[in-house]
Structure 1
Amino acid sequence: MPPVNGTRMAVAALAVAGLLSPVPAAAQAQQQEPAGSRQAQQQEPADPRLAQREEPAGLREALDATVAAGAPGVLARIDDDRGTWIGTGGTADLDTREPMPREARFRVASVTKSMVAAVVLQLVQEGRLSLDEPIGKRLPGQIDGGDRITVRELLNHTGGLATYDHAADPADPEQYGKQTYTPRQLIDEAERLPRPERGRFAYSNTGYILLGLLVEQVTGHKLSAELDRRIFRPAGMTRSYLPTTWDGIRGPHATGYHLPTGADPDVPGSLRPITRLKPSFAWAAYGVVSDARDLNRFYQALFGGRLVGPKLLTQMRTGVTTPQAPVFPRYGLGLESVGLTCGETWGATGSIPGYQTFSFADATGERRMTLSVNVQRNDRAVARMLLAAVDALNRYFCGEPYKLPGSRHADRR
């Protein structure tokens, strides 16, 4: 997946999608602040109709381990036929020490890809697209070799495209998060980089920028409007939206942090706040803002057949092998699997400056769990934090601690 400080450490590859480092681009017009954003820190009242399920055994231990391993705070939400369970740990802000909001919004990063993929597959279902048509048919001249790279290959990262976030400068999200990028600029940045071999898995955010443009070309509408019409509203995702240049997060949220390149995570104050950033660099690849409730609703609607028909849903969960096996062994059409002790479970992960997300559901979408931490770290110690998050998923879906294949016990220190 995207690089960590220029390398692909195996443990850091667990954090799918994200560290952008394109060259500077000219700023575009500022997007208007979304309605309701000035109430950003107001907590919504608890829904008295929400059935509270019991806490799964060992899940609290896993959340505490996530914080102990380097996350300022953590939020987990479970929704199933037994009700809802919400657990938090750590803090929403390292200065104020406020608790994590139970209904916190966050940047979901590459979980966005599942939503964009669902829109593309709806267009396929409607006969307006084909998975095996070349992207150049609808977007001529957008990408070199577009007459050979198919929609399917963009969805499952086998199109042989470089990912624009591998560019060298600026590497600091506190710089690029203040700039505005167009899709064309991101694609051009990718085109300056060496391409991986086509036909083999090579994670590329560039492919999803092209898919976003494809949706807009076919529908004649902005991607944000199509996500709202086709995904957010049908799934009841009332807290979700795709921003482009507005740099805030509306609704209750934790302060997001990142660890600058070369910083010592053991030095107090090394984590820097980065809640506010212009997400145009992420857009269709990893730009959506949502919360755990809405992500669970999304996978319930998707896997329950309300967004995509059964044949295409099967194709979404037919994956190619990834370098992140056995932890995240396969990537399908906008979906990835996590290799739990009781078998593969599908959903997505995401990583963007400020937040990392894990969101998965069972085959029917009736059992769902989303976990969010308010930091993006790319140091070696991040492995324990990420494995603690996977342990939390495993304790819910499998009822036991996570064990890496070949290990005698889960690393939960």
Structure 2
Amino acid sequence: MSKLRVLAALTVSTSLLVSGCTSSDEPSAVETTTTTPPSGTIRTDDVQAALDALVDAGSVAAVAQVRDGEDSWSGAAGSVERGGTEPASADDPVRIASVTKAMVAAVVLQLVDEGKVQLDQPVDEMLPGLLPKPVTVRQLLDHTSGIPDYLVGFDSAEQIAARANDAVTDDELIAQALAMPWTSEPGQGFSYSNTNYVLLGKIAADLDGQSVGQSLQDRIFDPLQMTDTTYPTDAVIADDALHGYVLENGTYTDVTEYDASVWSSGAAVISTVADVNTFFRGLFDGTLLPQNLVDEMQVVSPSGYGLGLLLGGDACNPGSGELVFGNRGNGFGYRTFQFSSPDGERQVSLAWTTAAPNPAADPLEQPATEALIAGLASTCPA
């Protein structure tokens, strides 16, 4: 199957949205930091400037790691917590939200490689009687199942904060989704739904004989030595994690401690920008999967989504049809971008710690996209 050469919208206006992003009680200024010096041919000045601009636009912190082959650079701007004096570091953990989906997809594809499941196998064969319509594993992976998204009712900072301690089961999340109208018949259209990956987590757990979190640890985190990456099932987060904030009407609400069960296998992972890059390199260079399955993941629909992956246009060759692959995470108080060249050699991983309740109307989206583009462009051949 050939890849559809679809370019995602990675270009934005050059003007950064800097107004209306801070409240009247300004936090103490913190010097920006660079955690590692530039190496090799990576051109880092524009990347650091973009991280600084993202903080100037209202994010409490912004961190990134860029890799080009064996060369790498890590940078940070802002502070660990709002009003604090400890500068942020690219080594600090963050909630990576839906970048988790690529990791869960890799587990499922490993199970495919082992002959335990097939991409076009009906879900009903593994979870009998759970779904009222015929859905396949592939349709869960690429969001064409039509299953509703359970993640509703988080439309304001107040609503988000009010549910920080709510513990829910996967079965409850699925039941909530199935009580809603389906977005389409299975296979008839793209509709992003976190429920798809909760179901994939259940399938993986059944086939692997252990929790999806343990499968991630055994199959992904340990083999790649992702020592700063965890799959939490409660509100616990490392003491050195960057704090996450919901920004609404100039007010910052700290949502760092949040019960991860609401994210489940669609978005629960905590990691660092370096570990996220390590994952995607291990995915694309054949360490985790054979090339035929990597190719399968990188086949995308007109929506821009593949199997657990999102594609974008390569900043080095704009308009050429050259692609990068990765994913983006829209979490409560945390946002993440990661994109790599198809072979995993050129990479940028970016995280920032302030987000609007509605990602589609987030004033920090534009400066964050500028930082992503700067990261990709920093690895372009001179």
Normalising by structure 1, report the TM-score: 0.77
User: Which residues of structure 2 form unaligned runs of 5+?
Assistant: 1-8, 11-34
Report sequence identity in percent.
33
Query: 2: CA distance between counterparts of 1:379 and 1:207?
Result: 21
* Cα deviation, residue 381, structure 1: 9.6
Which of the numbers 360, 363, 371 marks the counterpart of 1:392?
Answer: 371
Aligned to 1:211: 200
Aligned to 2:167: 180
Query: 1: CA distance between counterparts of 2:260 and 2:123?
Result: 25
1:36-79 Cα distance to aligned partner (Å, 9 max, x none): xxxxxxxxxx89xx984554342122212212222111001112
1:193 aligns with 2:143: no
- Does the CA contact (< 8 Å) of 1:101 and 1:253 recur in 2? no
* Cα deviation, residue 175, structure 1: 2.0
Which of the numbers 70, 94, 97 marks the counterpart of 2:82?
Answer: 94
What SS does the aligned partner of 1:123 have?
A: helix
1:345 aligns with 2:324: yes
Question: Alignment length, in residue pairs?
Answer: 339
1:333 aligns with 2:307: yes
Query: 1: CA distance between counterparts of 2:166 and 2:62?
Result: 29
Give the RMSD, CA atoms, in angstroms. 2.5
* Cα deviation, residue 336, structure 1: 0.4
Query: 2: CA distance between counterparts of 1:400 and 1:124?
Result: 34
Query: 1: CA distance between counterparts of 2:191 and 2:361?
Result: 22
What SS does the aligned partner of 1:164 have?
A: coil
1:107-149 Cα distance to aligned partner (Å, 9 max, x none): 110010000000000111111100001111100122221xx10
Q: How does 1:162-311 map to 2 (within 5 A)?
A: 162-167=148-153, 172-198=159-185, 199-245=188-234, 247-250=235-238, 252-259=240-247, 263-265=248-250, 270-311=251-292
Normalising by structure 2, report the TM-score: 0.83
1:231 partner letter: I
What SS does the aligned partner of 1:298 have?
A: helix
CA 1:201–1:298: 2 relative to 1, 3 Å: same
Aligned to 1:410: none
Aligned to 2:58: 70
What SS does the aligned partner of 1:103 have?
A: coil
1:331 partner letter: Y
- Does the CA contact (< 8 Å) of 1:70 and 1:382 recur in 2? no
Aligned to 1:39: none
CA 1:51–1:66: 2 relative to 1, 3 Å: closer
User: Which residues of structure 1 form unaligned runs of 5+?
Assistant: 1-9, 12-45, 323-329, 402-413
CA 1:290–1:251: 2 relative to 1, 3 Å: farther
1:303 partner letter: F
Q: Which moved more, 1:282-291 or 1:341-350?
A: 341-350
Which of the numbers 349, 362, 380 marks the counterpart of 1:370?
Answer: 349
Q: How does 1:103-142 map to 2 (within 5 A)?
A: 103-142=91-130
Query: 1: CA distance between counterparts of 2:272 and 2:307?
Result: 22
- Does the CA contact (< 8 Å) of 2:154 and 2:160 recur in 1? no
